[in-house]
Structure 1
Amino acid sequence: MSTLLHLPHEILLWIYRSLDNMYDAVHLAQSCKLLSCIFDRPQNRLKIFLSVINNMPRTPSPDKAWLEDRFGAGSLWQPEESDIPSALTDSGTRTFLTTVGFPAVKLRCAYFDSTHLTKDAGFLEPYDADELYGERYPDDDSPPTNLCFHFGSVGEWMMMVSGEDGDVSHYDPAGWDHADGYQGMIAGSLESFAVLLGMLAEVAERPYMVSDGLREDEEREEARKAILDRLRERMVEYDSSVEKGSKFWDDVFEGLE
């Protein structure tokens, strides 16, 4: 550390900007007064945050450590194979749940809540997707063949995972009675949704660390917008479901502005 502190400030700033997660940047700033002073300059901090978002690894298959770093130790719901309903046939979803697990958390920045997964012994209730999404005629009493499962909520909105192909859809109960329950795709898979939530958790509650140090309202708004825009770009690179026009993700990012 003593050798590091003799480096020019430009090099120390470059070291900050080479990091790939917010936690390391914050911990580095807490290690000594000089590094704290560099981090505390709002202009530096904005550059650091934007660089860290650029460097964030787009892990194709998140492990437990990656998710727990973002949601906390013991935050993942990891059922046994026998606890997953047989109607959830998508092999990728089943493997992800039994080997890694999905975060059962309340994510304040997005008002997302999946804590129901750890209640009632983690029982997943099947829903008739055709009925929810207006694909079943009112007088059709045949047994459901297209099932989905509830993995999270934002207010009344529900995040539903298809039992057959594992994609994550946005269901709005307010549209159920007029065939408008389906509100679009949220993620291509449950695994992808977990990564997107992890990226959101890591960054979305931290823009204030930049904006609070700026004097002008316009500067604060521009800094927050720059961080959130960069975050969404990275999330879109990971899963195109986050593109603008998604009712779910548009609402999440509007709430962060």
Structure 2
Amino acid sequence: MTALLQTEKLHKAFGSLVVTKDVDLAVEVGQKHVIIGPNGAGKTSLVHQLTGQLRPTSGRVLFNGADITGAAPEAICQMGVGRTFQKNNLFLSLSVRENVRLAVQAKQGGWYEAIRSVASRRKQWERADQILEQVQLAGSYDRAVSALSYGEQRQLEVAIALAAEPTLLLLDEPTSGMSPAETDRMIDLVRGLPKHLGVLMIEHDMKVVFSLADRITVLYYGEVLASGSPAEIQGHPRVREVYLGGKH
């Protein structure tokens, strides 16, 4: 079976600094695949290469079997790859609902609202409402984004990524900076995502990792140290030595 996302010997160097070294990675349809590793392991640099923010020095990125290496971020998004970032990127002065509606509109293409029909606009609102219910923000439609808690803003970022109707969702440390209660809500949110959606997530919180992961890949100084099921990773002697058993 063809993987939803696959990398082949993905390598990125800035001069003598190697940030990813011959990384082989595969995400299957419907799989929750989590990348872990110490700070500086190359996790975010890897995701940047998958989504077009960074062009690899060598190697390939395949999505649904098509080579997307070095494609523009907006083109990769339209192909079906959604993404959140470590830092929120929201319209703080607009309502929660309007943020998601704008993302729905962007997916449909075009910004010429003056010539859009009332029916078209209504469908955008309806789709936004469906997504907000999916990410557990149904009670916050009309609130300004600036009034949301940090955890709620992270939930909204997931909603905006889902508005692009992805088949693969990339989550870059979605629980970073969250309280325990906010973290639990994010776990529930990710667990409740559509079963057909592949998820590739960078995460540092081991509770989150082992609550959600179908498969875990460990990066260490830009290389894949190990990749396997949660049980295999927990029992891997080298992983325990350099990561799970130490500070991270």
TM-score by length of 1: 0.24
Q: More relative contact order in 1 or in 2 (CA 8 Å, sep 6+)? A: 2
Larger radius of gyration: 1
TM-score by length of 2: 0.24
Q: Which has the higher strand share?
A: 2
Q: Which has the higher helix share?
A: 1
